[in-house]
Structure formats: structure tokens, C-alpha cells
Amino acid sequence: MEADYIVIGAGSGGCAMTYRLAEAGKSVIVIEHGGWDGGPFIQMPGALSYPMNMKVYDWGYQSEPEPHLGGRRLATPRGKVMGGSSSINGMVYVRGHAHDFDHWRDQGADGWGYADVLPYFKRMEQSHGGQVGWRGTDGPLHVSRGKRDNPLTQAFVEAGIQAGYEATDDYNGEKQEGFGPMEATIFKGRRWSAATAYLRPAEKLGAQVIRAFARRVVMENGRATGVEVELNGRIEVLKARAEVIIAASALNSPKLLMLSGIGPAKHLAEHGIDVVADRAGVGQNLQDHLELYIQMAASQPVSLFKYWNLLGKAYVGARWLLFKDGPGASNQFESCAFIRSQAGVDYPDIQYHFIPIAVRYDGKAAAEGHGFQAHVGPMRSPSRGEVTLRSSDPKEAPRIFFNYMSEEKDWEDFRRCIRLTREIFEQDAFQPFVKHEIQPGADVQTDDELDAFIREHAESAYHPCGTCRMGRADDPMAVVDTEGRVIGVEGLRVADSSIFPRITNGNLNGPSIMVGEKIADHVLDRRLPSENAEPWVHPEWKTAQR
């Protein structure tokens, strides 16, 4: 079996890459270890807590014990299914702030400034209700907004404005900063994953999807010529006539590079792997977003808790199966905010997801019954971790060490997040609904008390990235150049969130798809013209926090 291009991983970046290559008439094989994505737990937005906790859809990875979080191991779900993590995520769609991409450019990712990536965001989107001129209108990826008819969802935005923050109608448009509606990859009541948006159309154009486990990239004289896979219990090699493109996630892409002899020479030698290219940066620079759930008990029965019983869930499920509407047709993240933590920060560094129920990500509701919560966390943690090999056995999970909260700034930022959130929940808009604070709890006030709460309760937002960092070819820690080509070898690229130089502001599915779109153009030796759009920046950011 051979093709012009072999893409490893049918996730956010890989599906976009596959579609654009197939559309250009190239023959493409996509290797995906996971299976079918058509089950109701994936397709029904309201069921989002299920797939990421199901072995059939998730790689089931865990972090190493995190020393600054009391030695906890954190769940690190990654999609093992058609569509990758876009099939098991919360469906929240955030491009990231314009300045995130300008920072990439300024750190050596030439051609990846906001002016360069904006045309790709527009090409991929079909925006429903976004800002005219800033958003795409005919792309493969549907981006929509929830109904926002729950009074708590409206109260969150009103409270933010009462607290003195900006409002924004489209945080993916000109103005990210402020409180407003949240966007999601949902269309007509169904999850609109990268598989639905890109992979199905790519298959119609002749792209071939092969369910197999990728063991390593086959290298001959410094060039990638194919992929060694386990297929139906046998080990085989699929041949790539032009290039191999790795889009296997920020956890599996560096693992595959290292198994293929590309990585820190000393680490590879420890595992008896022959070095093809000594790249110190492979697996380094691991970043993620941590978040806390600030939970409030509600004084009125207005939350989604009324569906949190057998009859309620049966009603929600039946209504979705029959009509694709009702609570099951939304991910329930319908209001959000992006704010700056303090004066002197030029663009938002705190994100809020608001949800009108007090519940954990694994679907366990708070004991208090009716309630609501804001997920909050800093966007630009200075902490960096790493992904390394446990052994040379491809079947063994990588060693994932995030090194969360290893810098004093992390603690200062998180304390500020909690205190700013409490202030928002104290505004008049919430007064008819607030009973008491569930967590952290009104008695948790001092820095030490807040730190203890953070240590015990901070959770990953599941946004790993950065482990195959993009940069200039002469940068010793860069793994890929500005066209996604792995430095030091031929015929091999990476096209997923692992190439992010620094984590973007918000959820990573949108920018991961953008990376697949843009690297596909580099493969095809073409690019969209840059657009000089000026994003909104708070005029008094140097002296005011809001």
C-alpha cells in the first residue's frame, strides 16, 4: 500500500491536512488507531462528559505525579477515534488572540503572525452569527452559538458588565476581551468534529483511511519513506512517495519522532534507538491550561440539575434522538469571558467557561443540587513540562510530565482568578440566584488556604501543546521549521498542536485545525495572502485592569 502522502492521525490537524491534499488531487492514506465516531455519546453535544471517559475513544493517558499538585496524577485524555480529540472534546471554539500569533512570529515562527493565520481561520469556518468581515462564511467547519435561554447564562454576562468589564459580541472577531456568547463546533444539534467537516469529504475525494497502529516512521538515508504499522495483527510498512505528515497530538507526535530516531540523542541512546537526527527540543516545551471550577449553589431551581436523574436524562436523550434539539443539542457552555488579570497585561490572560449546573468533568453533579459554575484559569502559564519515552516499545504510553504550577507566577495568577470570579458572582445580576459558594467555600480566603485548594482541585483543561516547537532552522530547540518540516531530515512534517511555540489564548481545537489547513498549503507550495486586520486592544491596558 502506498500513496503520495501518509498522514498519521485523523484528528483536528490531520483531517484538515488530508482534505486539502485530496482536494488538490494528491493520493493520501490516513492512519488512525481509533474507530468509528458515529455513536450517540460522540454525536450528542450534551453527552460530552462520556466519550473522554470511555476507553474505546480515548488513549487513556495520565500525567506523572505532579510535585506541585500534591503528587496527583492528572487524567490526560486524547481522542483515539475518527476526528481525534475533536470527537471527544467540549466543542468550544476559540481561535486564540491575535497577539498569540504575533508572539509566535516574534519568537521565530516567521509567516505565522495574525495577519498570516487570519485568512486560514476564515477559510476553514462557516460562522453562524459571527462578526461580518472577520469570520469565514463558507468553510467546512460549522461554528455556532447556543440559545442562551437559561437565566443563569444571561446573568453571567450581565454580572461581568456590572463588574466593569467589556462586552463582546464575537470573541473570535475583532474584540476578544469581554463577556459574551460562547461558540461551539455544533451544527443542527450535532457535534461538528474534524471528521465530519474534513475527513468524510476527503474520503469522497479518494483519501483512504486505514485503521492501524503507527509504530514509527521508516527513515532511509535521512528521509522519511513510509510508516511501520500494526495492521490486523501483522507489522507492515506503508510507503509514502512524497512525504509523511505526523498529526498524532502533542503527546503522540513527539513519541513517534523519538521512536523513529529523531529527538535528544542521549535520551534515544538510553532506549537503544539509533539516532537519525539529534533534536534536543523533541518532547520539550510541553504546555497546558489548568483550570478550577468555582461552584455556587443556586437559590432557585433554574439550573440543568432538573435533568440529573434517570427520567430527566431519558427525556434529554429521547428528544435529541428524535429531533436533535433540547438540552442535549448544546454543550451548555453558552456564555464565556476573556479578561486581563491586571493592569499592564495587554491582552486577556484569563478565560471563563460558564455552565448553568455545578458538575465535574466526569459528569458527577455537586451534592448540593441546583447550582452553577465558572471554569477559570490563567492562559499563559510560565511552567513547562516534557514528553519522553518509557521504553522503545511503541505500545507503551509516553511519560507525560507537565510540571504544573512550578513557578511562583502560577500561584499568584490562580489566586487572582479565584478572587476576580468571586467578585463577578457578587454582582447584582446573580443576587436572585445565589445561595452560597460550594467551592472553594466562603471560609477559604487567605493565600495559603487558596493555595491548598488549588493544589487539591486544579484540573487540566486538556490543552496539551508545544512538544515539537516550530521555529527557525538554526534554533537548537526548534523541532520543525516554519513550514512544519522536521529539521534535519527530509520528507517529514508535523501538523498539529505540538508545533505551537506557545499555548494560545483559549481552547486549542480551532488553532489545531488552522495548523492543518496552513501546513497543507505549505506542502502544496501555495499560501493565502496576508490580511492586515487590527484587533481591538483595551485603550487603557497599561493603567487599568478593566
Q: Is the pLDDT score of 294 beyond 70?
A: yes
Q: pLDDT grade, residue 474 (50/70/90)? A: very high
pLDDT recorded at residue 149: 94
Mind listing the pLDDT tens digit for each residue in 110-149? 999 999 999 999 999 999 999 999 999 999 999 999 999 9
| Candidates 142, 463, 522, 538; catalytic one | 463
Do residues 513 and 12 make contact, with C-beta atoms less than 8 angstroms apart? yes
Q: Is the pLDDT score of 361 beyond 70?
A: no
Binding residue per annotation — 143?
no
31: left (phi over 0), alpha (psi -120 to 50) or beta: beta
For residue 100, give the 3-state DSSP assignment.
Answer: helix
Domains and CATH numbers, the chain: 1-37+69-141+184-284+464-533 (3.50.50.60)
Q: pLDDT grade, residue 97 (50/70/90)? A: very high
State mean pLDDT over 106-112: 97
Binding residue per annotation — 252?
no
Q: Is the pLDDT score of 365 beyond 90?
A: no
| Residue 66 buriedness (CB in 10 A; 0-12 / 13-18 / 19+) | buried
Note if 463 is an active site residue: yes
Q: Is the pLDDT score of 393 beyond 80?
A: yes
Binding residue per annotation — 92?
yes
| Residue 364 buriedness (CB in 10 A; 0-12 / 13-18 / 19+) | exposed
Work out whether strand 2-8 and strand 28-32 pair parallel, antiparallel, or are unpaired: parallel
* pTM, two decimal places: 0.98
Binding residue per annotation — 81?
yes
Sign of CA dihedral 512, 516, 517, 519: positive
Work out whether strand 213-220 and strand 223-231 pair parallel, antiparallel, or are unpaired: antiparallel
For residue 92, give the 3-state DSSP assignment.
Answer: strand
Work out whether strand 190-191 and strand 186-187 pair parallel, antiparallel, or are unpaired: antiparallel
Do residues 129 and 143 make contact, with C-beta atoms less than 8 angstroms apart? no
- In angstroms, the CA 437 to CA 294 distance is 8
Which of 357-361, 448-452, 473-477 has the lowest average pLDDT?
357-361
Cell 501483522 maps to which residue? 234
pLDDT recorded at residue 242: 98
Q: Is the pLDDT score of 58 beyond 80?
A: yes
pLDDT recorded at residue 362: 67
Do residues 274 and 36 make contact, with C-beta atoms less than 8 angstroms apart? no
The chain-wide mean pLDDT, for the chain, equals 96
What is the secondary structure of 231-296 as a DSSP string?
ETTEEEEEEEEEEEEE-SHHHHHHHHHHHTTEE-HHHHHHTTPPPSEE-TTTT-SBB--EEEEEEE
Output b/e per residue, 217-238; b: 16+ Cβ within 10 A.
bbbeeeebbbbbbeeeeeeeeb
